[in-house]
A and B are shown apart, each in its own frame.
Chain A
Amino acid sequence: QQQVKQSPQSLIVQKGGISIINCAYENTAFDYFPWYQQFPGKGPALLIAIRPDVSEKKEGRFTISFNKSAKQFSLHIMDSQPGDSATYFCAATTGGATNKLIFGTGTLLAVQP
């Protein structure tokens, strides 16, 4: 129940294309769903996050779509650029006192010029 499943494991997209990464969860107590971007040898950096009371959130080229009934959420990267090549992790957490982040398995994105 604490798992967050992420797919695909890797993704190759042409420059200017749309990158889509999907995540699914089981624990209905999760109430915050962030996405992180990680470059090799660096810590993850927050990209965008969503609460379950909204179905979509957009920040620049990055959009999260959230389907509460299906317990799924996805990251869309519009107009993908070579600089977006990185590993992306979805995550989830609860609002309780323990409040720890549970990470998905990660997606290695390569944007080809």
Chain B
Amino acid sequence: GAVVSQHPSRVICKSGTSVKIECRSLDFQATTMFWYRQFPKQSLMLMATSNEGSKATYEQGVEKDKFLINHASLTLSTLTVTSAHPEDSSFYICSARTGTAYGYTFGSGTRLTVV
């Protein structure tokens, strides 16, 4: 089945630094990938939708200059949290559409802790 690999699984960074999270589709080409953020005991909140070769579409309230998304190839999307602050600490999850209209596969998530 479709597999989405997300790295790193955990990252701790200092306040003010930037962190990059990678999301790869291993056995399929993903024209569309999604990035979610999940706080403890809460639901997944969609941050942005990225399409290969074009600019990401951000949800209302998500700072595009803070959360940089790049989808340069059909198998790789990256999320860079710039100038991270403790309030950015969260669980970030990517998802890729598998090509069918309703096929979504999720990565295993990245636990970001900003100290």
Contacts and interface: CB of A to CB of B under 8 A. Distances in A.
Interface string B77-115: 000000000000001010101000110111111010000
Interface in A10-67: 32, 34, 36, 41-46, 49
B34 interface: yes
A42 B108 contact: yes
A103 B41 contact: no
Contacts of B54: none
B111 A101 contact: no
Contacts of A101: 34, 46, 95, 104
A103 B106 contact: no
B77 to A, nearest CB: 14
Contacts of A98: 49
B21 to A, nearest CB: 12
A103 B36 CA distance: 11
Interface residues of A, number: 23
Size category of the B interface is: 20 to 34
Contacts of B105: 46
A68 interface: no
Given A45-B106, A46-B104, A108 B41 contact: yes
A100 B41 contact: no
A106 B43 contact: yes
B112 to A, nearest CB: 13
Nearest to A33: B102
Contacts of A83: none
Given A42-B108, A43-B6, A100 B42 contact: no
Nearest to A10: B41
Contact of A100 (B4, B6, B46, B106): B46
B44 interface: yes
A59 B102 CA distance: 18
15 contacts: A32-B101, A34-B102, A41-B91, A43-B6, A43-B95, A46-B104, A46-B105, A89-B43, A99-B97, A99-B101, A99-B102, A100-B34, A102-B46, A103-B45, A108-B41
